[in-house]
Structure 1
Amino acid sequence: MEQVFSKLKGDKWIWIIVIILSGWSLLAVYSSVGTLAYKEGKGTELYLVKHFSIIVAGLVLMYLSHKLDYKWYAGISKLLMIITIPLLLYTLLFGSSVNEASRWVTIPVINQTFQTSDLAKLALITFLARMLSRKQEEIKDVKKSFIPIMGAVCLVFVLIAWANLSTALMLFGVSILLLIIGRVSIKQIAIVSAGGLVLLMMVMLLGPRRATYISRIEGFFKTEEVTTSNVPFQEDKNYQANNAKIAIATGGLFGKGPGNSVQRNVLPHPYSDFIFAIIIEEYGTVGGVVLLFLYLALMYRCIRIVTMSPRAFGAFLAAGLGFSLTIQALANMAVAVGLGPVTGVPLPLVSMGGTSILFTSVALGIILSVSRSIEELKGKQQLEEEPKVKKVVIGTVA
């Protein structure tokens, strides 16, 4: 084990948390894909192998990302934004539509779907980190700083929100947090927030999924009007939320045991959107608390990297990407336990999914790259200080 960790640079605790979450993901996904496998006439082992290969690919991307000096991501962020904007437009116009939402683009030849919002999250956060770090001396200048930053945030928000409002709102929230950390004035942040609110109302009132948004909000606030009978989930606004609550309630303190979930056969997406409910049903409240602790520990390690980073760009990167992952995890858990309307946001590194796991792994690799640079800087400082200490000791003896 020591030989393995000797080759992995950066915060070791982040590596440990990722490995634990990945292993837990294999167990949870294998347990919850039974109904999906039955509907598609495939074996559950096939989904397990596919999910395992994605996790391995994610770990490889994470390793490669952490080996690259994080300063290179400043230039890469510009390229990512140039690619992301047209790709989001293409997705809205020509993407694969599921439930009135065009979120995926089918990659030719390999015939695999690709969710462009995952790339957009990474692109916007790295771009904001670059802009905020380079504009610190003129951060309150409207033309040089405020307009370019606000333009990037609002444009990406609208393009994502049109088909994926929950992801867009979380990304907008992370952007506001970065603006606060980046010493942008409260007045300018208020203007950005007001602009975001106007865009949100436009999407909710004019967007193609306005009926879905209204239905989910009404279902969340009018739970007493929803029956618990066996009504098809297409007709019951709270079908998913109610069955998630049943899974959590029947899980008890220590759960039913791995593979013994009952609600996995009832919930429409137990392997992605509501995997946290299945985990609590099988591993109990204790399992749910442990999983929550892992994400909070991940955020703590990211904050520690922020405070130790000698450069603003590295601090903004670790903060933005760390907040993004943690907020997404908390949002998924909140929906599962009934603290928020259904969103369709996956649980990072745990839910079954291709692009979500891969881009989450890249984000963690970038955070580890910042951590690696801190360790290397400390090592250089120690090497420089050692000769001075020896000289002082020799002089004292003489």
Structure 2
Amino acid sequence: MNETTDKLFSQIPSVEGMRNQLAYRTRGDKYIWGIVVLLSLVSILVVYSATGSLAYKMYKGNTNVYLFKQVSFTMIGILLIYFLHRINYTLFSRVATVLFMLSVPLLIYTLFFGARINEGSRWIKLPIINMTVQTSDLAKLALFMYISRMLSRKQEVIKDFKKGFLPVVMPVLIICALIMPANLSNALLTGATSLLLMFIGRVSIKHILLTIGVALIPVAFIVSVAVITYDGKQKEETKKTTVAEKAKSFGRFGTWVKRVQDFIYAEKDEVPYQVQQAKIAIANGGVLVGLGPGNSQQRNFLPQAYNDFIYSIIIEEYGLMGGAFMIFIYLVFLFRCIRIFRRCPYAFGAFLALGLSFTLVIQAVANMAVNVNLVPVTGVTLPLVSMGGSSYLFTCCAIGIILSVARNVEQMEGKVEEPVTDHLAPAGETEKPALA
């Protein structure tokens, strides 16, 4: 009897053994893994709070519908991260061209035949699972894989305009041009992130400035139209307002003009409703602990409280300290990714980790800036926190790829025991890229 009992107990893994097994299974940067778990928990809490009233109205008193949905997306997202972090990151170099070539026709199809939601044609509907997918998220992921590959292979001629700069910048211009008609803010953020990665990849400063100058032309045109057509009275019968209204016939141009006008002249005219409600939510939060988890008042009035304006709900429930803590978390994430960039001996992996981290952190900063009314209203979500959807899953894919690079760096540094052949670099990668 004692021998049987001893055998049974001997088969039960110890706490130390389980911890070692978990550490072995979830390799890569442990801080990034911790950030993923922390933001996932925050997301579940805040999304449940922000959607309680909406779920009550939509599903006849069942307030748990969106909670179950968010938990499901969180579990799927973590599984995606785990699966991708187990893949050798050099595989992404091999599939980068295919994904980029696939994303271009998808963006074109979305532009003309995509599902229109909130005045924008940004989604395509998958037939069987009846889920909408924002194709720009796939395009951004493919773009950063592709330009990381190009930057790593063009280092010897990167200062040359034709041989080095054009092969890197043309994919960026194509993707941004296809995203812009439906989502200008997303296109600008993608372009800015790409230029930042080019700067670190030692692209000539004058070439980057030339690209910025070209990109500022449509932005300057939108701002000029917004200023010229603005009428402080905002009456429909006035001539200037009529000009602004006519601009709406050109896709989302009128929407862009109106948002710029709302931002510039917010003090002189009525503040947009969603911005006003976001300000009230932030004011309710106070400095320290806020109203407490689940006690948001503005969730009943703030549009997209669970998505674009979820940061306002975080501040309302957890105070300015909670909002500052969120900023700190994203900065730690960026710092750890920069550390991966510095440690990775191969150019492609270094650029890939840095490019994907830049796009996530810049998106987070843009979302927070919109919530506190520092920039005009845009349609960007808070990565890993806003309610789950295709954007959430692609964010998880990006983090999984970053952890794949970190895992391979650990293998090359001898911190984990795995076959050396698992981390062979793609052809052409022999040196670590120098910082610009």
TM-fit CA distance, 1:277:
0.4
1:184-199 equivalence runs, <5 A: 184-198=203-217
Q: TM-score, normalised by structure 2?
A: 0.82
- Cα distance in 1 between the residues matched to 2:111 and 2:416: 51
Q: Pick the aligned partner of 2:262 from 213, 219, 242.
A: 219
Q: TM-score, normalised by structure 1?
A: 0.90
Amino acid at match of 1:355: S
Change (3 A) 1:380 1:275: closer
> What is residue 165 of structure 1 aligned with on the other side?
184
Q: Pick the aligned partner of 1:111 from 130, 136, 140.
A: 130
TM-fit CA distance, 1:380:
7.5
Amino acid at match of 2:365: L
User: Deviation digits for residues 173-210 of structure 1, max 9, x if unmatched?
Assistant: 00000110111111211222223223556788785111
RMSD, matched Cα: 1.9
Amino acid at match of 2:344: S
Q: Pick the aligned partner of 1:7 from 7, 25, 38.
A: 25
TM-fit CA distance, 1:276:
0.5
> What is residue 354 of structure 2 aligned with on the other side?
319
Change (3 A) 1:340 1:203: closer
CA contact (8 A) 2:53 2:63 kept: no
Amino acid at match of 1:50: K
TM-fit CA distance, 1:373:
1.0
User: Deviation digits for residues 210-265 of structure 1, max 9, x if unmatched?
Assistant: 111111111112122344xxxxxxxxx51111111111111112111111000000
- Cα distance in 2 between the residues matched to 1:380 and 1:301: 17
**Structure 2 unaligned residues grouped into runs of 5+:** 1-17, 226-246, 419-436
Answering whether residue 42 of structure 2 is matched by residue 24 of structure 1, we say: yes
- Cα distance in 2 between the residues matched to 1:104 and 1:136: 36
- Cα distance in 1 between the residues matched to 2:416 and 2:281: 53
Change (3 A) 1:295 1:208: same
- Cα distance in 2 between the residues matched to 1:199 and 1:127: 26
Q: Pick the aligned partner of 1:267 from 299, 302, 324.
A: 302
- Cα distance in 1 between the residues matched to 2:211 and 2:265: 32
CA contact (8 A) 1:132 1:182 kept: yes
Q: Pick the aligned partner of 2:52 from 31, 34, 56.
A: 34
CA contact (8 A) 1:226 1:238 kept: no
Per mean C-alpha deviation after superposition, the further-off stretch among 238-247 and 85-94 is 238-247
Which consecutive aligned stretches of 4+ in structure 1 deviate over 4 angstroms post-superposition?
Answer: 199-207, 380-383
CA contact (8 A) 2:411 2:417 kept: no
Q: Pick the aligned partner of 2:338 from 289, 294, 303.
A: 303
- Cα distance in 2 between the residues matched to 1:311 and 1:19: 28
> What is residue 92 of structure 1 aligned with on the other side?
111
User: Deviation digits for residues 314-342 of structure 1, max 9, x if unmatched?
Assistant: 11011101111101111111111111111
1:225 aligns to what SS in structure 2? coil
TM-fit CA distance, 1:143:
2.7
CA contact (8 A) 2:410 2:416 kept: no
- Cα distance in 2 between the residues matched to 1:102 and 1:378: 46
2:123 aligns to what SS in structure 1? strand
Change (3 A) 1:78 1:106: same
- Cα distance in 1 between the residues matched to 2:354 and 2:222: 28
Aligned length: 374
CA contact (8 A) 2:222 2:256 kept: no
> What is residue 357 of structure 1 aligned with on the other side?
392
Change (3 A) 1:199 1:153: farther
Answering whether residue 317 of structure 2 is matched by residue 282 of structure 1, we say: yes
- Cα distance in 2 between the residues matched to 1:270 and 1:82: 35
2:121 aligns to what SS in structure 1? strand
User: Deviation digits for residues 251-309 of structure 1, max 9, x if unmatched?
Assistant: 11211111100000000110001101001101111111111111110001001111111
**Structure 1 unaligned residues grouped into runs of 5+:** 228-236, 384-398
